Amino acid sequence: MEELLEIMNEINSDVDYATEDNLIDGHVYDSLEILTLITEICDTFDIEIGAKWMRNENFNSAQRIWEMIQMIQEE
């Protein structure tokens, strides 16, 4: 999770990732930040985020993103 938070802080350090649960639906991240986040996650964790994972609820919070990464790694 620490690596994920480092990535997210590089993208936008103004967000409190411990409490924010509306990154996508609340328009905290813009489209470029979302693409950057996905690319960095794939590179850092050596995973591919397929179409079935591309839903707002999977990206609305750091915790939810971390859970998604773990599920993808288990596949």
pLDDT > 70 fraction of the chain, expressed in percent and rounded: 100
Q: Which helix (H) or strand (E) holds 10?
A: helix 2-11
Q: Which two tokens stand for residue 65?
A: 């993103």
Q: Is residue 59 very low, low, confident or very high in pLDDT (cuts 50, 70, 90)?
A: very high
Q: Cβ distance 28 to 22 under 8 Å?
A: yes
**pLDDT confidence of residue 9:** 98
pTM (2 d.p.): 0.94
Q: pLDDT tens digits, residue range 32-56?
A: 999 999 999 999 999 999 999 999 9
Residue 41 near residue 7, CB atoms below 8 Å = yes
